[in-house]
Amino acid sequence: MNNNWGDLGINTDVVEKIVEVAVLEIDGVAGIANKSFDLTGAISTGKVLKGVSVVSKNGGVDINVYITVKEGVKVKSVAEAVQANVKEHVQDMTGNAITRVNVFIADMVLDSAE
């Protein structure tokens, strides 16, 4: 990112946190699943399994997020709401163009009251 005073940069860890907040705002989401293997992250930070990955490509940002949904929700509706909310939050907070938000349903939390 560039402005009149110099360059600005946003760490991908910060963007990942923004994504996590945006995901957890959606009704029907039980949490973020730790499913994405990140070899680069494993080497540099020791984090092997990540539920959110952010990749800068050709001036845009691709985001992958692995979520756990609650039992009884319409999975497609929840995933679409997650996509829209993540895109809006990240674009608003960083000013970067979001080219893709991939949502993967990794698990479902069953109601244990039965």
pLDDT of residue 91: 94
Mean pLDDT of each 10-residue bin along the chain, 114 residues long: 59 91 97 70 57 86 95 97 97 92 94 62
Three-state SS at 48:
coil
Q: Write the CB contacts of 18 (distance below 8 Å, at least 6 apart in sequence).
A: 89, 90, 93, 94
State how far the Cα of 13 lies from the Cα of 32, in Å rounded to an integer. 15
At residue 27, φ and ψ (nearest 5 deg) are: -65, 135
Query: What Å distances lie between residue 26 and 10, 37, 71, CA to CA?
Result: 25, 24, 14
**pTM strictly above 0.85:** no
Q: Read off the DSSP letter of residue 111.
A: P
Both tokens of 5, joined, read 């005073």
Burial profile 4-18: b = 16 or more Cβ within 10 angstroms, e = fewer: eeeeeebeeeebbeb
Predicted pLDDT of residue 87: 97
The angle formed by the CA atoms of residues 35, 11 and 2, to the nearest 5 degrees, is: 140
